[in-house]
Structure 1
């Protein structure tokens, strides 16, 4: 792997970032064994028992209009759910400005990304790249919550580019504390914290730029965590269905997450009229709350089915995912005109114990993306050891 030139600073950033992620999202990261989770239906029934109900805004984002945002009344599609609101709407996307090194370890990449928030993962964003007859569509890489373009794809980007694809990425959901990005947004490399509907609009603009530059009619999207559900929203409500052929997601919060039960419990308490998630939102930001089970965002996202016609979905989950859990919540059910392949990362490869973050540094996960993008050239899936939390074969 290519190592950073500032290892001491990276180690500090890594420890800080891992600690904040552990406290803000998982509640506990003391063991890697997958637990027997509640089923999606059990979670839905549990939450539904306390639902107060309320209107869901239209398919367009109300987040930039000021409607409901920051009012504390829980109204509007911007908000995570009943009574949950902190900060105002806002946020932006941005292009990358320089290249960071190729990485095999998530921890090293995360630290580098904190110190270099505008770095691009290797091989991406060649705006002169033209798709070939063999690979006619550009690939857009979409990072997750509290991540950025670099540390989301510092491992996967170069192999995808080297396989012959025009590969592009950007930073989205850049919201500060006042805009509701949460305390995590105080760190320079933490992005993907703004309202997900606003981020989907940012993705729509970026995909249009990619298609215009490459001359392609459609793009393939590879997305992690929130990036997956945000890209799904883009295909449903921001015109993305006609511009997307493959949607490949890893640990995506398509049906929300219980956050080891914390999110589900908070949602249930909120539904009884006590604003618990509003307090949590101050720490994790708008996007974090929107991704909990039973939020207005999740309900609207799936109200008319999981998929849209014409898209090929490859959905990857890990049994060791401590953030999108139960991990089955990531899987989709194919509707008319759509094809869905739901893949458990450990099926056929028990030694890959990747969790939510290290799955993006898993050779098996990379091989799944390459097979989905070009099944003729890359028909075989790899199987190697990839450790929980660290990734990269256990070394930095």
Structure 2
């Protein structure tokens, strides 16, 4: 594949996504400048029922507004809920757009997450947190666990994170980073990578199947000791491809529950982009965070 062809494709995508300028009568832009309803109450004190604050981690090109439905649902159940914007990087075309986050280097984003979690723990006096992540957010979370202080492989009792719940995470990369435009492993390096990075951001390149970043992240296993993982996938995912590549394999002293949305609710029409606002996904997240939760998963509209 010639790099010029890829560059043209990403420019077309750029135009399709509507970032060339404001459209007439456009709806208000959710730019991530305001926390989601119920989130980032720095006076919140965790309850005995839910002692671990929940930190929400958006995906590529997203921001904390992605959690405008899940955050209040968690708050209503009595959780202390927090959301952040991460990965702002003006070196790409999309990264320069207002409200567009998650384009920067994933390793640096994991450090931003670590700092945010530290702030949450200081404010709440909580020893541990739970993480809920969409798309790239799952990889940021796993990078934090493995390399940025979120877990202690030598002594899991010192882990900061108890649970990680992911929605369509690019855990093993994607062959379709460009929303349907296929890329192979070779695209993660060389001129093709440069073309993709200059428009979509370096994080898009890092999420291509076989990238150097993912090879390092997944070396030695998918999990870290002491953390419970719930990995939620949809068969309709056209961004994390193939969809089953999101699933994790449990290593020593870790628990993994891999869930198809369509197994939980037959015929569920949940897309990759729609994950954070899906009523079904929200119910599955609530169950993952609290096994005693008995809310109805299916039948929502």
1:202/1:183 Cα in 2 relative to 1: closer, same or farther (>3 Å)?
same
TM-score, normalised relative to structure 1: 0.66
- How far residue 269 of structure 1 moved from its aligned partner, in angstroms, is 5.3
SS of the residue corresponding to residue 123 of structure 2 reads helix
Report Cα offsets for 1:283-323 as digits up to 9, x if no partner.
11011110000001110110010000000000001111111
Question: Which position in structure 1 is the counterpart of 2:74?
Answer: 160
Determine which of 157, 160, 163 is the counterpart of 1:243: 160
Larger Rg: 1
SS in 1 for 2:191: coil
The residue matched to 2:74 in structure 1 has which SS?
A: helix
In structure 2, what is the equivalent of residue 144 of structure 1?
Answer: 59
Q: CA deviation at 1:379?
A: 3.0
1:254 is aligned, of 171, 178, 201, to: 171
1:127 matched residue in structure 2: 42
Aligned to 1:341: 257
Structure 1: state its 5+ residue gaps: 1-15, 23-110, 386-392
SS in 1 for 2:201: helix
Where 2:17 maps in the other structure, the secondary structure is helix
Distance (Å, rounded) in 2 between the aligned partners of 1:345 and 1:21: 30
Provide the rounded CA distance (Å) in 2 between the counterparts of 1:348 and 1:369.
12
How many residues get paired?
274
Deviation at 1:360, TM superposition (A): 1.3
* Contact 1:352-1:384 within 8 A present in 2 as well: no
Q: 2-side partners of 1:21 and 1:292: how far apart? A: 23
Provide the rounded CA distance (Å) in 1 between the counterparts of 2:194 and 2:230.
33
Q: How much is the aligned-residue C-alpha RMSD, in angstroms?
A: 2.2
The answer (yes or no) to whether the contact 1:258–1:293 under 8 Å persists in 2 is: yes
Is the 2:175–2:242 Cα contact (8 Å) retained in structure 1? yes
Relative to the length of structure 2, the TM-score reads 0.86
Contact 1:246 1:311 in 2 (8 A): yes
Higher deviation after alignment, 121-130 or 342-351: 342-351
